[in-house]
A and B are shown apart, each in its own frame.
Chain A
Amino acid sequence: MTDAQDPALTTEAREYIAAIDQGTTSSRCIVFDRDGRIVSVEQKEHEQIFPKPGWVEHDAREIWANVQEVVAGALAKAEITREHVKAIGITNQRETTLLWDRTTGEPVHNAIVWQDTRTDALCRELGRNVGQDRFRRETGLPLSSYFAGPKIRWLLDNVEGLRERAERGEILFGTMDSWVIWNLTGGPDGGAHVTDVTNASRTMLMNLRTLRWEERICDSIGVPMEVLPEIRSSSEVYGHAKGGVLDGVPVASALGDQQAALFGQTCFSVGEAKSTYGTGTFLLMNTGNQAINSYAGLVTTVGYRIGDQQPVYALEGSIAITGALVQWMRDQMGLIHSAAEIETLARSVDDNGGAYFVPAFSGLFAPYWRADARGVIAGLTRYVTKAHIARAVLEATAWQTREIVDAMKKDSGVELTSLKVDGGMTSNNLLMQNISDFLDAPVVRPMVSETTCLGAAYAAGLAVGFWSNIEDLRANWRRAAEWTPEMDPAERDREYQFWLKAVQRTMGWLDEEG
């Protein structure tokens, strides 16, 4: 991650891939070299707009301005120009929904962010007598306010005259990948209105097997098909940048952020999985060319598709509260000064002292999906100290990982061989050891922690022949650390039973669901 140029490189051909990560809190651009090493990084945060409780919006114009700025900044820091950039790749916050005018390029409303819950009631209504699994067989998703389809419907219902304009073909829909690509490739002046299969798989409008928009579902949700972008693969040239510092450079990949991390971690074989530990955690496992329906509370999604090759599917499980629990210990409880200190506190004792912490702060997510659950700390005695609670906090993340891995095994029949990890919490050695112990599998951290951007860069580089195949990419992957299981199996089982008992204690806390 050096800003300065490595002198050894100046004599070689200076060819790079630029990756744009349009994320939830910021936009970033990272320039990578052929070894997958970071040459430069530029980042800019954008405003989080909260018009009402539960509502979250972004100003798409601000985001596009920031994207242009970070691209220019990253190129300047790397001391390169567009001639050195062989392709641009895009990765993005998933499901965030925008509608804009195709002739002026003006957004008709702020983008509705994935976290926004304004479509909760609409989703219940759309479930009719079937419930949240009404579209699961085709789309792999439960009806939830996360996904883009219901958000489009909300905009069409609530922005005056929008539905009529949409039906006349004046309005375009896109997740942030589409917005960035359309603007990069010319905007109103011939911009490519496209999305990739991974982003399209988060709209609830695409059929997972045909990889096309499902007319019946679009009808049911109330989305006119005129607004939808063309669905393309994750790795192909969608068009060339028009104007700006990247003028003429091929725009050659798009992947939702979690799928990009799967790609960046080079999880190209069936059973390979990655887990990204941030505020929350997302675990994706490659299930090959088979879209596996989940009966264990997971989501089925497209992992990636390279050009006209077969699509690769993934099972996805998310944990709402992981890093957020450590932040809670710091900010709400005041037991630690910095997030990293949780490890110091936890290591001051040898075990959890019998305490278990289930952070069901907003209900239980995968694999339980119980909105009536709330957090508990179970097993308290006078013996328990804050250090034991710190242990229980870290163990909570590790046990929740185990629950998702178990659910994946149940759905797919595939045994996890090792777990590739990234994200801020990977600096916590005790947590990584806990995860390895509880999974009874090795946990591996790669050398480049920016796996999301790397995934987008890899997909773009493949499309333009910068890398010739995925074996080239595997060769770039470097192990920075590995934790292997050290736990006694009998103890593991005993602890897991206690954890599962504690999970039971969280359920039914609220009298009514929702």
Chain B
Amino acid sequence: MARTIQSLERAAAVLRLLAGGERRLGLSDIASAIGLAKATTHGLLRTLQQEGFVEQDEISGKYQLGAELLRLGNSYLDVHELRARALVWTDDLARSSGESTYLGVLHQRGVLIVHHVFRPDDSRQVLEVGAMQPLHSTALGKVLAAFDPVAHNEAMDSDFAAITPLTVTDPAAFDRELEAVRARGWASDVGETWDGVASVAAPIVDRRRMPVGAVGITGAVERVLDGEAPRPRLVAAVRDCARAVSRDLGAGRF
């Protein structure tokens, strides 16, 4: 499995060359610098150009780094930016659902809570921003694992600890549940993390439809569930909120 792909290594060498020292280089400069035939080098450059990683100056014919590379470098979404964008929508979700609202992102092997809105009653509550929750038992974690491949790997590598008697501890059963989550677009947690507490969550995506986080509500099963399943009104409110935040991040209507 230690085999590497030669043409990718060569493409990386081209990009490194264009990133250092002189900004623009001609075909023969590049070919001699990385020690390849002109034809091979031209093929590499043409492919990189198609992907937007390299641009060719029309007049001089010289090559330089492309805009797509810059975009890649800046695509990381700051969690504080995510919270600022989500603020009004999560407030509204808490009010319309009557439950506390959480915004979570993948962090190391779990869900990091980056925003928390209190349940809108006058009870004493403590801000849980900065807390970590498990991926395999929470609604937020299931959404991340279902839609983000990195989160999926982390979840499947986890210990699947039985946090409550209802926690799903069988990796295969968990993976089947993620299938269902992907199909319907939301996840739930019924007493799998806290006894008597249920959650509903949905994914937030950015302008490239990449999952960047999950938003959800958490409350007593008596309020959140209607029979076995979450109340449709609450599911709709959570999904509306996720869509609204995604739209604010530049995702198209969906």
A-side residues, CB < 8 A to B, are 1-2, 6, 8, 35, 37-38, 337-344, 424, 426-429, 447-449, 478-483
Known A-B contacts A447-B117, A478-B120, A482-B118; the reply to A340 vs B78 at CB < 8 A is: yes
Interface membership of B163, Cβ < 8 A: no
Name the one of B79, B88, B117 contacting A481, with C-beta atoms under 8 angstroms: B117
A475 to B, closest residue via Cβ: B122
Q: Are A483 and B127 in contact (CB under 8 A)?
A: yes
A447 to B, closest residue via Cβ: B91
Q: Are A1 and B116 in contact (CB under 8 A)?
A: no
Of the stretches B16-24, B92-100, B199-207, the one at the interface is B92-100
Residues of A within 8 A of B95 (CB): 35, 37, 447, 478
Name the one of A1, A340, A426, A482 contacting B92, with C-beta atoms under 8 angstroms: A1
Interface membership of B83, Cβ < 8 A: yes
Residues of A within 8 A of B94 (CB): 447, 478, 480
B-side residues, CB < 8 A to A, are 74, 78-81, 83-84, 87-89, 91-92, 94-96, 116-118, 120, 122, 125, 127, 129, 233, 240, 244
Known A-B contacts A337-B74, A478-B95; the reply to A343 vs B80 at CB < 8 A is: yes
Known A-B contacts A6-B96, A341-B78, A447-B91; the reply to A480 vs B117 at CB < 8 A is: yes
Q: Are B240 and A2 in contact (CB under 8 A)?
A: yes
Q: Are B83 and A479 in contact (CB under 8 A)?
A: no
Known A-B contacts A38-B92, A337-B74, A427-B87; the reply to A481 vs B127 at CB < 8 A is: yes
Can you list the 7 inter-chain pairs with the closest CB atoms, starting with the nearest? A340-B80, A340-B81, A427-B84, A478-B120, A343-B80, A340-B84, A480-B117
Once the chains are docked, how many angstroms separate the CA of A180 from the CA of B217? 42
Once the chains are docked, how many angstroms separate the CA of A38 from the CA of B91? 11
Known A-B contacts A1-B89, A449-B87, A449-B91; the reply to A479 vs B81 at CB < 8 A is: no
Q: Are B79 and A344 in contact (CB under 8 A)?
A: yes
Q: Are A2 and B80 in contact (CB under 8 A)?
A: no
Residues of B within 8 A of A337 (CB): 74, 78
Number of A-B contacts (CB under 8 A): 75
Once the chains are docked, how many angstroms separate the CA of A72 from the CA of B215? 33
Q: How far is the CB of B101 from chain A (nearest CB, A)?
A: 9
Residues of A within 8 A of B89 (CB): 1
Name the one of B78, B83, B91, B129 contacting A448, with C-beta atoms under 8 angstroms: B91
Q: How far is the CB of B213 from chain A (nearest CB, A)?
A: 14
Residues of A within 8 A of B87 (CB): 426-427, 449
Once the chains are docked, how many angstroms separate the CA of A338 from the CA of B127? 24
Q: What are 23 of the A-B contact pairs (CB < 8 Å)?
A: A1-B88, A1-B89, A1-B244, A2-B96, A2-B240, A37-B95, A38-B92, A338-B81, A340-B84, A341-B80, A342-B80, A344-B78, A344-B80, A427-B84, A429-B129, A447-B120, A449-B87, A478-B118, A479-B120, A479-B122, A480-B120, A481-B118, A481-B127
Name the one of A37, A338, A449, A480 contacting B78, with C-beta atoms under 8 angstroms: A338
Residues of A within 8 A of B120 (CB): 447, 478-480
Residues of A within 8 A of B78 (CB): 337-338, 340-341, 344
Q: Are A482 and B127 in contact (CB under 8 A)?
A: yes
Known A-B contacts A429-B129, A483-B127; the reply to A341 vs B92 at CB < 8 A is: no
B91 to A, closest residue via Cβ: A447
Residues of A within 8 A of B83 (CB): 340, 427, 429
Once the chains are docked, how many angstroms separate the CA of A426 from the CA of B90? 14
Once the chains are docked, how many angstroms separate the CA of A43 from the CA of B88? 16
Q: How far is the CB of B50 from chain A (nearest CB, A)?
A: 28
Q: How far is the CB of A276 from chain B (nearest CB, A)?
A: 15
B88 to A, closest residue via Cβ: A1
Which of A343, A424, A478, A480 is the most central at the interface, judged by chain B CB atoms within 10 Å of its CB? A480
